[in-house]
A and B are shown apart, each in its own frame.
Chain A
Amino acid sequence: MELKSLNKISDYVWEIPREGEMRVPGRIFASAELVGDFDDNVVKQIKNVAALPGIQQASMAMPDAHWGYGFPIGGVAAFDPEEDGVISMGGIGFDISCGVRTMRTGMRREEIAPYLGKLVDRLFAIVPAGMGSEGKIRLNPRQIDEVLTGGAQWAVSQGYGYKEDLRYIEEGGVMGGADPAQVSDTAKKRQFREVGTLGSGNHYLEIQYVAEVYDEKIAEELGLFRDDVVISVHCGSRALGHQIGTDYLKTLAEASRRYNIPVHERELVCAPLNSPEGRRYFSAVCAGINCALANRQVIAHLVREAFSDVIPRARISMLYDVSHNTCKVEEHPVGNKVKRLFIHRKGSTRAFGPGRKEIPEEYRAIGQPVLIGGTMGTCSYILVGTESGMKQAFGSACHGAGRAMSRTQAKKRWRGDVLLKELADKGIIIRAHSYSGAAEEAPGAYKDVTAVVDATHNAGLAKKVVMVKPMACIKG
Chain B
Amino acid sequence: MEEAFENGAKAMFSVIADINAVKPSDREEVRCEAEDPEILFVEWLNSLLSAAHLSGELFCNFKVEITDHKLKGWAWGERLDQERHHVMTEVKAATYSMLKVGREGDIYIAQCIVDV
Q: Please list the residues of chain A having a beta carbon within 8 angstroms of any beta carbon in chain B.
A: 69-70, 93-95, 130-132, 186, 189-190, 199-201, 239, 242-243, 245-246, 249-250, 253, 265-267, 269, 407, 411, 433-434, 436-437, 440, 476
Nearest Cβ on chain B to A183's Cβ, whole angstroms? 13
Provided the pairs A69-B97, A250-B34, A266-B96 are in contact, do residues A243 and B50 lie with their beta carbons within 8 angstroms? yes
Contacts of A250 in B (CB 8 A): 34, 39, 43
Contact B86 A436 (CB under 8 A): yes
Name the distance in Å between B50's Cβ and chain A's nearest Cβ. Answer: 5
Q: Is B53 an interface position by the 8 A CB rule?
A: yes
Which of B3-11, B21-29, B87-95 faces chain A? B87-95
**Which B residues touch A94, using CB under 8 A?**
92-93, 95, 115
Residues from chain B with Cβ under 8 Å of A189 in the complex: 54
Shortest B100–chain A CB gap in Å is: 10
Q: Tell whether, in the assembled complex, residue A200 and residue B90 are in contact, meaning their CB atoms are under 8 Å apart.
A: yes
Q: Is the CB of A131 within 8 A of B93?
A: no
From B42, B89, B92, give the contact of A436 (CB < 8 A). B89
Residues on B with C-beta less than 8 A from A186 are 50, 54
- Residues in A whose Cβ lies below 8 Å from that of B95: 69, 94, 249, 267
8 contacts between A and B (CB under 8 A): A132-B56, A132-B80, A190-B53, A249-B95, A407-B89, A411-B88, A436-B87, A440-B89
* Contact B96 A433, beta carbon cutoff 8 Å: no
Chain A residue with minimal CB distance to B86?
Answer: A436
Contact call B50/A266, Cβ cutoff below 8 A = no
B53 touches A239 (CB 8 A): yes
- The reply to whether A246 and B50 form a contact with Cβ atoms under 8 Å apart is yes
- Complex Cα distance A245/B92, Å? 9
Query: Which residue of chain B is the closest to A411 with respect to CB atoms?
Result: B88
Chain A hits for B87, CB < 8 A: 130-132, 434, 436
**Nearest CB of A to B101, in Å:** 12
Q: Determine the chain A residues whose CB is within 8 A of the CB of B50 once the complex forms.
A: 186, 190, 243, 246
Minimal Cβ-Cβ distance residue in B for A95: B92
Which B residues lie at the A interface, using CB under 8 A? Answer: 16, 34, 36, 39, 42-43, 46, 49-50, 53-54, 56, 80, 82, 86-90, 92-97, 99, 113, 115-116
Choose from B89, B93, B96 the contact partner of A253 (Cβ within 8 Å).
B96
In the complex, A122→B42 CA distance in Å? 40
Chain B residue numbers with a CB within 8 Å of A249 are 42, 46, 93, 95-96
Q: Which of A69, A243, A436, A440 contacts B113 (CB 8 A)?
A: A69
Residue of B nearest to A190 (CB): B53
Contacts of B56 in A (CB 8 A): 132
Q: How far is the CA of A226 from the CA of B3 in the complex (A)?
A: 60
CB of A400 to closest CB in B, whole Å: 16
Residues of B within 8 A of A93 (CB): 115
Q: Apart from A246-B46, A265-B96, A267-B96, what are 16 other A-B pairs with CB-CB below 8 Å?
A: A69-B113, A69-B115, A94-B93, A131-B87, A131-B90, A132-B56, A190-B54, A201-B92, A201-B116, A249-B95, A253-B39, A253-B96, A266-B96, A407-B116, A411-B88, A437-B88
Residue on B with the closest CB to A257?
A: B36
User: Complex formed: what's the CA distance from A268 to B47 in Å?
Assistant: 21
> From residue A252, how far is it (CB to closest CB) to chain B in Å?
10
Write out the residue numbers on chain B whose beta carbons fall within 8 Å of the beta carbon of A130: 82, 87
How many whole Å from B94's CB to the nearest CB in chain A? Answer: 8
Q: Among the listed A69, A132, A201, A243, which residue makes an inter-chain contact with B89, where contact means beta carbons less than 8 Å apart?
A: A201
Cα separation A265 to B112 with both chains bound (whole Å): 13
Contact of A131 among B42, B54, B82, B113 (CB under 8 A): B82
A310 CB to nearest B CB, Å: 26
CB neighbours (8 Å) of A239 from chain B are 53
Distance to closest chain B CB from A291 (angstroms) = 14
Determine the distance from Cα of A411 to Cα of B36 in the docked complex, in whole angstroms: 35
Q: How far is the CA of A267 from the CA of B39 in the complex (A)?
A: 11
A266 to B34, CA, bound (A): 15
Alpha-carbon distance between A69 and B49 when the two chains are bound, in angstroms: 19
Least CB distance from A288 to B in Å reads: 13
CB contacts (< 8 Å) of A199 on chain B: these are 90
Chain A residues with CB below 8 A from B43, complex form = 250
Listed residue (A189, A200, A250) with the most chain B CB atoms within 10 angstroms of its CB = A250
